[in-house]
Chain A
Amino acid sequence: MSEYEKMGLKVGLEIHQQINTSHKLFCECPTTLDEESQGKLERYLRPVVSELGQVDVAAFFEWEKGKKIVYEVPRKSSCLVECDEEPPHPMNLDAIKLGLAMTLAFNGEPVDEIFVMRKTVIDGSNTSGFQRTAIVGLGGYIKDAEGLVTIQTIAIEEDAARKLEDTPDSVKYNLDRLGIPLIEISTGPDIKTPEQAKRVALLIGQMLRLTGRVKRGLGTIRQDLNVSIAGGVKTEIKGVQELDMIPKIIENEANRQRELLKIRDELRTRITRDDFERKVKEKDLTGLFTSSRSRLIQSELKKGGKVLGLLAPGFKGILGRQVMPGRRFGTEVSDYVKALAGLGGIFHSDELPNYGIVEEEVQRVAKELGTGELDGFILVVGPEEKVRKALQVIRDRLSQAFEGVPKETRAANEDGTSKFMRPQPGSARMYPETDIPSILSRELLEDAKKIMPSTPEQKLKELMKMGLNEELAKQVLNSPRLDQFEYLTRKYTNVSPTIVATTLENTLKYVKSQGGNIDKITDEDIETVIASVNQGKITKDSIPQILLEYSTPNSNTKIEAVISKYSGISEEELINLIREVVAQNREEVKSKGDKAFSLLMGKVMERVRGRVEGKKVAELIRKVMKDETG
């Protein structure tokens, strides 16, 4: 039994993958990103009562921030629907069909009647204040080496607007991404180890790619993780973009929950929660800091701010306890203050003296608050209203420490840690989208069956049948460019699939290793090159040079221009060239006879590499030499 199984680790995945439909989920806009803005919109959102008569906590949390929301309105990729100025058009059925196809592929059950719901999201990422989403399938499973992992739901939903910037008073989005169809696949909490989570994510991603109907590239697939350990709670971690980070994020979260449980147990030996709540107190300590050397405190006091202290009974040593690499319990508290009270952060007793606050000040604070042997304290600086709010937030968070792990939605950090984002939303945030009639799935199932992905095993066989060796076939199977491979091989039948696969899987890596800028090479560029091979304009050997030359940083040439440089030469030209080379090397040819061949071959190839195949050159050299020696 692994360490994590002993901890009772349970992980569920939510995979969100953009679908490559011809238009968005609820309008006719293309599903491409677009930076060209035709203006801005300024909006505010407010929470509403759901059909069950409740208001969602997460929604209220966002509203309390009262932020102005600014939208950049792109010319090509948005219309009045994204602007929330026109009701949604009927749902894109191609997206629903893909959801049904995946349901069938996982051996799940399609929902008979599909209802579009509004999931309240009032952080501004949806202009309407809700994300439109519909469950299309339930149940099913995938087989993993460590056991079956169940599929809970498969939903089709609209992607959110793309966040551009976030300040304390306003948040700015681009509307281009809003409405791109997403498929959301949620597994049950059946995953038992961090590595298994990564494997399952890979497998689901691969099955999606096998449909040939999903987007690829940065930001087109996102993983959310639901993590808990025995005694902990299910924590949602949002926005994991790198598959390789999944195990580390899970490990960190499992350890965080374990540390929080240890903290709970230790606190309980020191003081009861009731006693904590009785003894915890706050006090205005501004007077102690009027001549403080802390720059932060000085600047806040100048603006009329306050320094308030909170006595934290029983928390000595705990505020400074590490719960994740580089993150202490105090950091967790500080994140709550940042998110819920809009303040920069806190100072706590386990990290002082520091940050310009000196020992003498620490002692005076302790005295003023009456800090006992096992007690800690927290200082908050800023405008009084926010500071008071912050102290309330801190009290609540410290009090929760006696219970263990609070229910949170967290955001993944790039280093594999995570931080508090908001309280977990409840089911109250869902209510029906009344602008869209329900959809009967039986009318779509026939089409869905036709686009079901083949299994990876089947696909591997197919690829090898096309002439790919096993290694290359596996590379293609696991590649995000699988759909591109299929597209190119279907369309350009004169080019062997091996060449297409090599170009996509190896040549691009080679070009990168040689200092080429891969980002410059678009799918269209690759297609142009393959098409040129298909027409016999260039030889396959020239592909690496063409791509390398094209992608050289600072080069502005068009791919067509590079290709024309490598375009093949006629047999007549080649023979003339060979004759020329033979004439220049007449001495060697005379003295060495046939053995001069490799010399000539080298000299000719130097001048025609990439424009004609070596085999052809060799053949013509032999012919010329034969003529010459007659």
Chain B
Amino acid sequence: MLEGYRGKALELLSSLGADIGDVLQVYNDKVNVKGILMPSYSRDDSVVVLKLDNGYNAGFSVNKVKVTLLGRGNKVVERKGHEVSRPGKVKIISTGGTIVSKVEYETGAVRPALSTEEIIRFVPEIEEITSISAEVLFSILSENMKPEFWVKIAEAVKRAFDEGSEGVVVAHGTDTMSYTAAALAFSLRLPGPVVLVGSQRSSDRPSSDSGINLVSSILLAKEAPFGEVVVNMHGESSDTYTLAHRGVKVRKMHTSRRDAFQSINDHPLAKVLWKEKTVKVLRDDYIKKSDGVEVNAKFDSRVFLLKFYPGLKPDIVEILLSAGYRGIIIEGTGLGHTSSDFQEAFRKAVKDGIFVGMTSQCLFGRVNMNVYQTGRMLQQSGVVPLEDMLPEVALVKLMWALGQTSDLNEVKRIMLTNMVGEYNPRHSLDHFPRWKHE
């Protein structure tokens, strides 16, 4: 299989009978080198890509060089991971993401691929902490995550506890990890910790944060005293410790930093020191472990997250209604506002049995729709203020609530109930980070 080759290069290679891994020679009057034929991820279809003796890849246009086949190479053998069947105290459920990734030649991009067992080989110190078992549930990029996958993950978590695991680690891509964390938090009553973990530097690089994040998460799954869903990622840019954030209060706040995940309007639950192999619990108001595991994972995805901006017209609400949406979470400005033009549209929506809830695009702080007249009027239209809940968490919660009932009053009751710590009624000064300015 001449992976990735097209056009002229494909034609020539086929005529030579060459395959990926074979040794080729390319030459003209100025250059004469041999190398192993690599899959192509070239922009130019006349280019043949070789890995030279010195390890470099280089592309040669067949328009400029002659190519001969020198010999058959060793095939690049993919080591297939198989699942570990023996039961362990901590179960690792793998869903994809860069914590389990490698190079894909077709695009040259990083793709989730390694089996969980391969991660254990990659981070052998895991076995010093506890016995583990592993399951590859699926292998998707986190941007391709969907509510139906949340259900599968929730069920896999239940199975793991039913099989006797003391804690569960879910390896997940970081982009939508906080959505999954919220979904699991609303769906599960837990006899132990469920730790979502990912990496911001993919595991195919020596500086990857995946090793430390994974070891810390296994430690946390085994030793944390709580029965709740957390996200455990680097606590700072240095490889010093990780932080366990409550799954319904965490957000990815940076595109690329290791410490991108931060608790918003909340403090982390625990700090994990991977070198010392200790878990330091930072709060005592965590959710205690329940006796058994219960799962209630039903989601209605006919919910929309509406970010208000100057100029947005109310007809969007009617479009959503006619498309069959059953709930709207508004990401409003400031204390929880849209332009007053929306009052009528929302009134109509609520009258039609649609839930409309308000969060703030400020992210930090609480909405308060009593301070300004617009807020009061929006409330009169039936818009429900959702305190300090994060917009994405409110969205997931509404999907879950609509999965439970179609009665608007019941949905409203669920939305306003602090179920798993998604509301923090007390904000202190240190709940807001300050940026250095001098």
Contacts of B306 in A (CB 8 A): none
With both beta carbons as reference points, the residue of chain A lying nearest to B61 in the complex is identified as: A112
Encoded as 1 (CB less than 8 Å from any A CB) or 0, chain B from 59 to 81 comes to: 11100100000000000110100
Partner of B205, one of A44, A107, A129, A138: A129
**Interchain CA distance A438-B56 in the complex, whole Å:** 13
Encoded as 1 (CB less than 8 Å from any A CB) or 0, chain B from 243 to 256 comes to: 00000000000011
Selecting from A115-123, A170-178, A270-278, the interface stretch reads A115-123
> Counting CB contacts under 8 A, is A434 at the interface?
yes
With both beta carbons as reference points, the residue of chain B lying nearest to A106 in the complex is identified as: B30
Q: Given A113-B44, A113-B59, A434–B206 Cβ distance below 8 Å?
A: no
> Counting CB contacts under 8 A, is A42 at the interface?
yes
- B205 A42 Cβ-Cβ under 8 A: no
- B60 A119 Cβ-Cβ under 8 A: no
**Interchain CA distance A558-B407 in the complex, whole Å:** 81
**Interchain CA distance A41-B236 in the complex, whole Å:** 9
Interface centre among A43, A53, A426 (most CB of B within 10 A): A43
With both beta carbons as reference points, the residue of chain A lying nearest to B256 in the complex is identified as: A86
Q: Is the interface of B mostly helix, strand, loop or mixed?
A: loop
9 new A-B contacts at CB < 8 Å, known A41-B237, A140-B30: A59-B206, A86-B256, A109-B28, A117-B56, A118-B205, A129-B205, A135-B52, A135-B58, A429-B55
**Interchain CA distance A595-B339 in the complex, whole Å:** 99
> Counting CB contacts under 8 A, is A524 at the interface?
no
Encoded as 1 (CB less than 8 Å from any B CB) or 0, chain A from 424 to 440 comes to: 00111111101001101
- B203 A85 Cβ-Cβ under 8 A: no
- A434 B56 Cβ-Cβ under 8 A: no
- A428 B30 Cβ-Cβ under 8 A: no
> Counting CB contacts under 8 A, is B211 at the interface?
yes
Contacts of B44 in A (CB 8 A): 112-113, 440
Contacts of B28 in A (CB 8 A): 109
Q: Given A432-B57, A434-B103, A440–B206 Cβ distance below 8 Å?
A: no
Binding site for A on B (CB under 8 A): 28, 30-33, 41-44, 47, 49, 51-61, 64, 76-77, 79, 103, 108-110, 122, 201, 203-208, 211-212, 237-240, 255-258
Interface centre among B201, B205, B212 (most CB of A within 10 A): B205
Encoded as 1 (CB less than 8 Å from any B CB) or 0, chain A from 584 to 619 comes to: 000000000000000000000000000000000000
> Counting CB contacts under 8 A, is A128 at the interface?
yes
Q: Given A51-B103, A53-B77, A84-B201, A129–B206 Cβ distance below 8 Å?
A: yes
**Interchain CA distance A176-B51 in the complex, whole Å:** 32
- B59 A112 Cβ-Cβ under 8 A: yes
> Counting CB contacts under 8 A, is A87 at the interface?
yes
- A80 B256 Cβ-Cβ under 8 A: yes
Partner of A113, one of B49, B54, B207: B49
- B118 to chain A minimum Cβ distance, whole angstroms, is 9
Partner of B238, one of A43, A52, A118: A43
**Interchain CA distance A440-B64 in the complex, whole Å:** 14
- A139 B103 Cβ-Cβ under 8 A: no
Identify the 10 closest CB pairs spanning chains A and B, nearest first: A129-B206, A113-B59, A430-B55, A427-B55, A109-B31, A42-B238, A109-B30, A112-B61, A139-B31, A115-B57
- A101 to chain B minimum Cβ distance, whole angstroms, is 16
- A-B residue pairs in contact (CB < 8 Å), sample of 11: A44-B239, A45-B206, A53-B76, A59-B206, A84-B207, A108-B30, A114-B58, A117-B57, A128-B207, A431-B204, A440-B43
**Interchain CA distance A51-B205 in the complex, whole Å:** 12
Contacts of A129 in B (CB 8 A): 205-207
- A432 B59 Cβ-Cβ under 8 A: no
> Counting CB contacts under 8 A, is A364 at the interface?
no
Contacts of B211 in A (CB 8 A): 46
**Interchain CA distance A299-B201 in the complex, whole Å:** 44
- B59 A115 Cβ-Cβ under 8 A: yes
- B380 to chain A minimum Cβ distance, whole angstroms, is 46
- B89 to chain A minimum Cβ distance, whole angstroms, is 24
Q: Given A42-B238, A438-B41, A130–B58 Cβ distance below 8 Å?
A: no
Give chain A interface residues in 7-33, CB to chain B under 8 Å: none
